[in-house]
Structure 1
Amino acid sequence: MIRLSDRAHGKEVDPSEPFVIENRFEHLEVLPTTNVPTQISFPPLTINAPPKTDLWRKPPHIDVDNIPTIFLPKSIDLNKFRSANVTVSGEWNTLYDQGGLVLYIFGEGLKKWVKTGIEFVFGKPFVGTVATARASDWSLVPLSESAGGKVTVHVERETKDDERLESLWVYVIGENGETLGVREVTWVFGPDVIDCDNPTSEERTMLVGVYGARPTVPEGEGRENEELVVKLDGFKVALFDD
């Protein structure tokens, strides 16, 4: 079992003002390429997310990353990542309540990331996915009422005939075990999307984890500090074995 590192970081944010979140990944180490299991499983996890925690980039003024997260203890070589999945549930009741998988990509001059799981909008939980390079984009997939605000999400690098392609696919595993593709993020394993004509030679790595977030302060007397409790079961990470 690889030891987990629990990194929680909180900061008051005024979205009307430009700001830069401090780099909490400044001293990342990379897992060695030898003696690392290709299948990594974790026990049930719980994350408590206080209000005003979010992971979102909307130029020109918003670049927020203060979510409570539980990561593998070190980043991995980007080319070794194969897949990850988790089952996420919680008492979703406040706008933008969320939790699930999060992948950070480093080494191209700009921190990029993909998150996917549950997000509470329009009065009910959806499967929400956000992919972020220069800016965040966001997609929603309806979740059946019978799911009870619970879903299993799976992300996997696209392959063809044993060749590793550039896309990351996001899947939802239904209550009957059916796997449904809901999002393709085409740039995750490809060249630098910031400057494709002059890609960086810097080593690229990925940090894999699970998270919870409560961007909005809950309404109601005495709820201003109420935390969202996110339950994460069956968190697994798979790496290529070369």
Structure 2
Amino acid sequence: MEGNRTIPWNVAHWLNRPPSVDIDGDDLIVSTADRSDFWRRTSYGFIHDNGHALLAALPLGTAIEVTYEADFEALFDQAGIMVRVDERTWVKAGVEFSDGVPQLGAVATREFSDWSLAPAPEWIRRPITVRASRSGDALTIRAHKGDGQWQLVRVTPLAPDVVANAGPFCCSPTRRGLVVRFTRFVRGAADASLHAEGPGV
């Protein structure tokens, strides 16, 4: 992402600070609370809004990238990036452990949560980067493992006039103690094109 600037961990603000937060060199290491999650209503009927997210401003025309590593072991262990307007309007995207394998996917929520997943077994125990790019009336989510190619994860509406924040998130809906090492948190220019290819997307 061209012209990116690192967002210091202590400049962003926590939504539901995890029970354990440590700085190791330039990395942020967090451990999740018991049965932490983000979800609204669909299929399950409940509202959970106690997952952990470290958020900074995502103005129109910008993108935020997060890189992290985690050992996903328990059902629904998850980490990645969250884009949040309020408790009824948000997107989370990254890797989630479901059906016995890591899955690459996203939950887009506008009062009701809308979930999509695709198996990604080769993404386990690899550095994962997720980018949220805001342009016009859309939010575009892309991700890659290691130094691999970007994959399009989701394109979803986001009104150009709303105030949104974004940053790393994690939660563990069936246990406590998912440990996630976040190694990168940067802001840069929004993607030049929805269908552009390569690292300069």
Would the TM-score normalized by the shorter structure come out above 0.5?
yes
Aligned length: 174
Q: 2:159 aligns with which of 185, 189, 196?
A: 189
Cα distance change of structure 1 residues 122 and 6 upon mapping to structure 2, 3 Å threshold: same
Name segments (4+ residues, structure 1) moved above 6 Å: none
Counterpart in the other structure of 1:18: none
In structure 2, the partner of 1:103 is: 83
SS in 2 for 1:205: coil
Q: How does 1:30-45 map to 2 (within 5 A)?
A: 43-45=26-28
**Aligned partner (choices 118, 127, 130) of residue 107 of structure 2:** 130
Unaligned runs of 5+ in 2: 1-6, 19-25, 191-201
Aligned-residue offset at 1:177:
3.5
Residue 188 (structure 1) shift: 1.0
Counting only pairs closer than 5 Å after superposition, residues 139-154 of structure 1 correspond to structure 2 as: 139-145=116-122, 147-154=124-131
Question: Are 2:162 and 1:204 aligned?
Answer: yes
Pair 1:146–1:205, CA change in 2 (3 A) = closer
Tell me: CA distance 1:66–1:150, structure 2 relative to 1, closer, same or farther (3 Å).
Answer: same
> For 2:79 and 2:149, how far apart are their aligned partners in 1?
22
Equivalent position amino acid for 2:149 in 1: E
Tell me: CA distance 1:182–1:167, structure 2 relative to 1, closer, same or farther (3 Å): same
What is the DSSP-based 3-state SS (H/G/I as helix, E as strand, rest coil) of the residue aligned with 1:216?
coil
Task: Answer whether contact 1:147 1:175 (CA < 8 A) is retained.
Answer: no
Please name the residue that 1:39 is paired with.
none
Shift of 1:44: 2.1
Instruction: Answer yes or no: is the 8 Å Cα contact 2:71–2:125 preserved in 1.
Output: no
Partner of 2:183: 233
Taking structure 2 as the reference length, the TM-score comes to 0.75
1:103 partner letter: V
Aligned to 1:66: 50
TM-score between the two structures when normalised by the length of structure 1: 0.63
Contact between 1:120 and 1:126, CA under 8 Å: does it hold in 2?
yes
Deviation by residue 1:9-34 (Cα, 9 ceiling, x = unmatched): 58xxxxxxxxxxxxxxxxxxxxxxxx
Rounded Cα–Cα distance in structure 2 between residues aligned with 1:138 and 1:156: 19
Identity across aligned pairs (percent)? Answer: 26
Structure index of larger Rg = 1
